[in-house]
Amino acid sequence: MQHNLVVFPCSLLLKLRGYPAIWRKIFWIAAAAIFAMANAAADTNYVHFQWKEVRDGVWFGVPQPNSFATTNAVIIALPGVGSMVVDSNYADFIAREIIEKAKQVAPGPVRYLINTHLHPDHVQGNEAFKKAFPQVEIIAHQRTCQGIPAKTVPRIKDRISPLRQELDAMRKRRIAIGENEKEAASALDRRMAGLELYLSEAKATVWVLPTSCLKMTTGQMKKITAGGRRMEIYYFGRGHTAGDLAVYLPVEKVLVAGDLWSEGGDMLLNNGIDGRDGSTLETAMTLRGVRKLDFDIALPGHREVIRGKASLDAAIMDDNKLVAQIRESYARGEPVDETLKKVVTPPNMGTAPWQRAVIRGYEEMELRHQLGLPER
């Protein structure tokens, strides 16, 4: 953990000797206040994850309340070999926490690291894994390998300045919080501590790219057998991004799903995020491919463990409805901003991601039309 301790120069202390006691007292009170303020966040013992063992040797890390980021972590123990980790998360300090947990629950190196897709909260911690385990095999879809330098890196550069402004705004809010609002104060302290850690590291981020870029087409699978466990890495097609991988444990009936969907369903609608990485028109088809797997629980990239397939069915249905609406509007020649006024955001979903998905769907329709491809 990084500490930004304030150190008072000795020369200043020596100069104080000639001043009256009252001034020396005022100086020490002010110094103590500055010192406390400067180190308030640094002294917060920021621990990111709450871990649970969802199956024998399969660990699921969910961020504690008021964390800096919302992305989960998965460790699969491979006895006698080490472990497989799915997604390296958003920052070095979070990745190091995953590494420490992996060492504790699965002696040996992290042998495989899967990057499910190109979003920074799934790949930015790669460097920490490479440093700790130079031999680690980092596996991703080829589109993720291409997308990290082309999309992820420039986006993160653009985000640093808004995040600094957000931190400044948080600091102002923190000053405004009254002494008896302890809960609100500690929640904000925790979020500030995480953001400070992230910003202190982000400027020196070294982007480590996957070492194995899989040229998989829809429905293809790559099998890894290690430590007496069988792991199947699937590509189901375009959805949240163009290169989402999922890890399936057929014996344990566990699916590590990345951001393909999550309980509540709105994850799939983030396919329009930033550079329009995914597909609105193809999401339902991709998720129908996922549905064919026989899993009891799914571990999503965000939120809690998913049991059964009800939320997956809901996500498929939502996408089908949205695509039907887009198709109708597009066929009438209606401009996208008119359609955006009409579409109703389903309950429990954010309006902005839903609207981005509409825009993405329109773009895909337009592209297909220009290329003379069927609409699907």
- Chain residues that interact with Zn ion, rule: CB under 5 A: 119, 259
Distance from C-alpha of 88 to C-alpha of 75, rounded to nearest angstrom: 11
Length of the chain equals 376
Q: Which residues contact 302 (CB under 8 A, 6 or more apart)?
A: 70, 71, 72, 259, 262, 267
What is the nearest approach in angstroms of Zn ion to the Cβ of residue 263? 15
What is the nearest approach in angstroms of Zn ion to the Cβ of residue 119? 4
**107 vs 350 by CB, closer to Zn ion:** 350
Phi (first) and psi of residue 372, to 5 degrees: 70, 30
Distance from C-alpha of 52 to C-alpha of 55, rounded to nearest angstrom: 9
Rounded to the nearest 10°, the torsion over CA 1, 89, 313, 318 is 100
Tokens of 24: 């020396």
Type of residue numbered 173: R
What is the nearest approach in angstroms of Zn ion to the Cβ of residue 337? 26
**41 vs 73 by CB, closer to Zn ion:** 73
**301 vs 361 by CB, closer to Zn ion:** 301
Distance from C-alpha of 139 to C-alpha of 210, rounded to nearest angstrom: 6
Tokens of 258: 């990345």
What is the nearest approach in angstroms of Zn ion to the Cβ of residue 89? 12
What is the nearest approach in angstroms of Zn ion to the Cβ of residue 270? 6
Distance from C-alpha of 231 to C-alpha of 251, rounded to nearest angstrom: 9
**44 vs 270 by CB, closer to Zn ion:** 270
**97 vs 259 by CB, closer to Zn ion:** 259
**71 vs 205 by CB, closer to Zn ion:** 71
What is the nearest approach in angstroms of Zn ion to the Cβ of residue 22? 59
Tokens of 206: 């070294």
